[in-house]
Structures are given as structure tokens and as C-alpha cells.
């Protein structure tokens, strides 16, 4: 089904069914002002919810069923919040019915169209396409020779920077002319894995790692306002947690550490203390900065705080000071950052945006410290910077909430 028919069908059902039920019970209600206001608002909320859902569904690792309800909850909630703010009269039955039918309609479509089934892509076996085999969730069909594309194939993947033989060039040209999508292997890897690999300086000459400055300013203002509101509301919780930390183990309630932030500036990060400083023997500052999964320094209350991410709450002060954001690459300890910069090319590029309490690498990979893992984390950070937008931030928020409930990646 084409997208416009899905949207049209959803609008007709979401608006028409509740309206028909109300009209059967009370025909004159159709002409009431409150119902007309509700129908107009429902149409706007439905279209907005559909656009949000389609935009969020484009990010890798995001299941269709996991974005439907948040998308329509957000759109309907915002629209009817405006109606409530302006004290407009509206029909609760029409509003609730429209929201329910909207979500059911797209849930049914997603199930009937098997959106969660793996796609099928043909691969031109020349160049660096061998990395595709490690990507799950897609049925890869390796072409043996130029010719007809097998049935049920949704696109062709090729290394367009490789020195392709003339026969394969003619084959790819024929696919383009016939309307078959042709993708560069690196484009496919980015869209399926959520990682961007920068291996040559020339790959950033077009500004792929220069985030939208207008959104950056808007985001900073929103970060500040939300942090202030959360700090006011959560201040009793902060005091309770601080008291529990002091009772659980000797030492201050807050942990302070030098971290590298926006544009390489060093700042003091605040967290609730979750560890005791009792590692025996001589250790370097780098080893002291690394936290391992079975680290004996973690306290009893510290394990709970780390699992629920409540130990990050004092970073509200870092946000208010303009040093951090709610969402962005996690800031590394100064000693670790200096180490990574020596070992990993392009590592400083991650400092082009403000660091965050949570981020794309955090929700995909969790806490890591080894060079190999940090290299992979860097690819996630580059993907976030390249796709810097409110849509990706919203996906990260949803996945962070899930992680807070499951404790994924905590150490």
C-alpha cells in the first residue's frame, strides 16, 4: 500500500468512526462547535503523529511497534494540550476514539505488511561489500554475474567507489534506469547499524560532522529550561539520595571529575558517588578512571544508582552551566580522553557537540572503556552528529527510558 493511502485510510477511520457513532446516538451533535473543533484537532494530530512515526521509524534499531504509540501519544497530547490551554470546548469521546483508532490502524498495517520481516537486498560482489554479511536483519543475495535481478529484491548494494568492471557498471546503470534502487555500501551500513566510520579526512569535507547550529541553539535553551524544572521538582529526591550515600559508606555524596566537553573544553562533572576509593596497590590515574562490571569499589547503594542511572542527576547543574546537554556523546574523563586521542584518529571530532547525560552510543552499546570498544563507540557518536536532529533525540529519549527500566549497559 502506498503511503498516501495508508494516511487517507487512517484519517477516514479515525475521524469517521467516532463521528458516525455519535451521529447515530444524537444526529444534531454533528453541527456542534465542540465536535467540529475536535475533528479539526484530531485531523491535525493524526497527520502529525503519522509524520513523527515515519520519521522515527527511519532510524536503525527502532522497531515499528516501538514508535507507534509514542508518536501518536506525543501528537495527540500536544494538540489537545493546546485546546485545554485555550479553554476550547471539545468532545472527549471523539478525541479518545480518534487516538485509539489511529494507533490500531497503523498497528494493523504494520502487522499485515510484515514491517519487522528482514528486507532483501542484492549485492554486487566487487569491492568492500564483505562487511555486509555481518549485519543482521537483512537477507543478502550475493549476485554471481551481471544479469536480471532476482524476484522480491528491494534494492541493489554496490561499492560505488571500487573499480567496477564494465559489465557491472552496465548492470548498475540498467538497475537505475529500470527504477530499482541502488545504494552505496557505506550508505547501507550507516542506515542499518547506526554508525558512521570516518577513515579519511576528505570524508568530512562536505560538513557531514557539522551539526545544525540553529537546532543546537534551540536545544541548549530547551535543555536549560527542562533541567531547571526537573531540579525544582526532584530536589527532595536529590537530598534523600545524598543522605543514603552518606549513610552507606564514608565520603562525600557527590563525585567530581575532570571531563572533556564541548570543543575540547575541560569541565568538572558532578555525579552521585557510587564507589569507595579502596583499590589496593599502586594504580595509574587512567586505571582509576575505568570502571569495570565487577568493580569491588561499587557500594550497595551505588549499584542501585548505576542501574537506574539516578547517579547522573547532579549533572543537572552541568546543564544549567551550559557545559552539558541532556542528549549527546558521553564526556570522557580527562585522562581517558587524552589516551583515546593518541590511539584513535578523528576522536576529537566528537567534541563538536555538547556532551550529554545519555546518547546514541549509550543506548546502543552501554558503558565501555577498551580501545576497540571505544572505536566502535566513536562510530555511534559520529552517526549522532551526522544525524543531529530532534527526531534522533526523541528516539534516544524513548530508548533511555527503556534502559532505565532494564539496567542495560550499567557498570
The neighbour count for residue 268, using CB atoms within 10 Å, is 12
398 Cβ contact partners less than 8 Å away, ≥ 6 residues apart:
66, 67, 70
254, containing H or E segment: strand 254-260
* pLDDT for position 69: 84
* pLDDT for position 349: 87
**pLDDT over threshold 70, residue 113:** no
Rounded Cα gap, residues 272 and 181, in angstroms: 51
Rounded Cα gap, residues 137 and 299, in angstroms: 40
* pLDDT for position 58: 72
* pLDDT for position 92: 86
Lowest-confidence pick of 12-26, 114-128, 132-146, 375-389: 114-128
Backbone torsions φ then ψ of 22, nearest 5 degrees: -65, -40
Of 79, 78, 43, 51, give the one whose Cα is nearest residue 67. Answer: 51
| CA 171 to centroid of chain Cα atoms | 37
Whole-Å CA distances, 72 to 38, 80, 89, 98? 16, 12, 22, 10
Lowest-confidence pick of 71-75, 109-113, 201-205, 405-409: 201-205
204 Cβ contact partners less than 8 Å away, ≥ 6 residues apart:
198, 349
Task: State the chain's mean pLDDT as an integer.
Answer: 85
**pLDDT over threshold 80, residue 118:** no
What does the buried/exposed string (b/e) look like for 91-120 if buried means 16 or more CB atoms within 10 Å of the residue's CB? bebbbebbbebbbebbeebbeeeeeeeeee
* pLDDT for position 205: 46
Q: Read off the C-alpha cell for 205.
A: 569535507
pLDDT digits (tens, 9 = 90+) for 150-175: 777 888 999 988 899 999 999 999 98
**pLDDT over threshold 70, residue 320:** yes
Rounded Cα gap, residues 88 and 254, in angstroms: 47
pLDDT digits (tens, 9 = 90+) for 203-258: 554 455 678 888 999 999 999 999 999 999 999 999 999 999 999 889 899 999 99
Angle at 372 between CA 371 and CA 374, to 5 degrees: 65
**Domains of the chain, residue spans:** 3-112, 119-193, 213-278+285-406
Q: Is there a contact between 374 and 340 (Cβ–Cβ < 8 Å)?
A: yes
156, containing H or E segment: strand 155-158
DSSP string across 265-298: -EEEEEEE--B-S---S---HHHHH---TT-TTB
CA end-to-end span of the chain: 46
**pLDDT over threshold 60, residue 53:** yes
| CA 249 to centroid of chain Cα atoms | 36
* pLDDT for position 410: 56
Residue range 34-40: average pLDDT?
Answer: 86
* pLDDT for position 138: 83
Lowest-confidence pick of 64-73, 251-260, 318-327: 64-73
**pLDDT over threshold 80, residue 133:** yes
* pLDDT for position 286: 59
Residue range 263-283: average pLDDT?
Answer: 80
**pLDDT over threshold 60, residue 117:** no
Rounded Cα gap, residues 106 and 115, in angstroms: 11
* pLDDT for position 213: 86
Residue range 326-343: average pLDDT?
Answer: 92
pLDDT digits (tens, 9 = 90+) for 96-106: 999 999 999 98
Helix axes 92-112, 3-25, angle to 10 degrees: 140
Q: Is there a contact between 359 and 397 (Cβ–Cβ < 8 Å)?
A: no
Whole-Å CA distances, 227 to 126, 233, 234, 235? 51, 10, 10, 11
Percent composition of the chain: helix, strand, coil (DSSP 3-state, to 5): 60, 10, 30
**pLDDT over threshold 70, residue 363:** yes
* pLDDT for position 278: 59
pTM greater than 0.75: yes
Q: Could you tell me which residue, 245 or 187, shows the higher pLDDT?
A: 245
Amino acid at each position: 500500500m502506498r503511503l498516501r493511502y495508508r494516511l487517507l485510510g487512517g484519517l477516514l477511520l479515525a475521524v469517521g468512526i467516532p463521528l458516525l457513532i455519535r451521529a447515530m446516538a444524537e444526529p444534531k451533535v454533528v453541527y456542534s462547535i465542540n465536535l467540529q473543533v475536535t475533528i479539526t484537532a484530531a485531523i491535525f494530530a493524526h497527520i502529525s503523529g503519522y509524520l513523527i512515526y515515519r520519521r522515527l521509524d527511519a532510524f536503525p534499531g527502532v522497531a515499528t511497534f516501538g514508535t507507534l504509540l509514542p508518536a501518536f501519544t506525543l501528537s495527540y497530547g500536544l494538540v489537545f494540550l493546546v485546546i485545554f490551554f485555550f479553554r476550547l470546548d471539545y468532545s472527549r469521546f471523539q478525541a479518545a476514539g480518534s487516538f485509539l483508532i489511529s494507533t490500531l490502524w497503523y498497528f494493523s498495517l504494520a502487522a499485515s505488511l510484515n514491517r519487522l520481516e528482514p528486507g532483501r537486498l542484492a549485492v554486487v560482489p566487487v569491492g568492500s561489500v564483505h562487511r555486509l554479511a555481518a549485519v543482521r536483519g537483512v537477507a543478502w543475495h550475493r549476485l554471481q554475474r551481471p544479469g536480471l535481478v532476482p524476484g522480491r529484491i528491494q534494492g541493489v548494494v554496490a561499492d560505488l567507489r571500487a573499480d567496477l568492471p564494465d559489465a557491472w557498471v552496465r548492470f548498475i546503470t540498467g538497475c537505475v534506469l529500470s527504477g530499482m534502487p541502488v545504494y552505496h555500501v557505506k550508505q547501507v551500513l550507516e542506515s542499518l547499524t547506526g554508525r558512521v566510520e570516518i577513515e579519511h579526512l576528505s570524508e568530512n569535507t562536505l560538513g557531514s560532522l557539522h551539526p545544525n547550529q540553529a537546532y543546537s541553539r534551540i536545544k541548549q535553551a530547551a535543555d536549560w529550561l527542562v533541567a531547571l524544572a526537573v531540579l525544582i521538582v526532584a530536589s527532595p529526591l536529590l537530598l534523600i539520595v545524598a543522605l543514603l550515600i552518606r549513610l552507606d559508606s564514608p565520603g562525600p555524596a557527590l563525585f567530581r571529575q575532570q571531563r572533556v566537553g564541548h570543543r575540547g573544553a575541560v569541565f568538572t562533572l558532578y555525579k552521585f558517588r557510587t564507589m569507595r576509593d579502596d583499590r589496593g596497590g599502586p594504580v595509574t590515574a587512567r586505571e582509576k578512571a575505568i570502571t569495570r562490571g565487577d568493580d569491588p569499589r561499587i557500594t550497595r547503594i551505588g549499584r542501585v544508582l548505576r542501574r537506574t542511572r539516578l547517579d547522573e542527576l547532579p549533572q543537572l547543574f552541568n546543564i544549567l552551566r551550559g557545559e552539558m546537554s541532556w542528549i549527546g556523546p558521553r564526556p570522557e574523563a580527562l585522562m581517558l580522553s587524552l589516551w583515546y586521542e593518541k590511539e584513535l584518529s578523528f576522536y576529537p571530532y566528537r567534541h563538536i557537540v555538547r556532551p550529554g547525560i545519555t546518547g546514541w552510543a549509550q543506548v546502543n552499546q552501554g558503558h565501555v572503556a577498551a580501545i576497540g570498544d571505544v572505536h566502535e563507540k566513536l562510530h555511534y557518536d559520529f552517526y549522532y552528529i551526522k544525524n543531529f536532529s530532534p527526531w534522533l533525540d526523541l528516539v534516544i529519549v524513548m530508548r533511555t527510558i527503556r534502559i532505565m527500566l532494564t539496567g542495560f549497559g550499567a557498570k
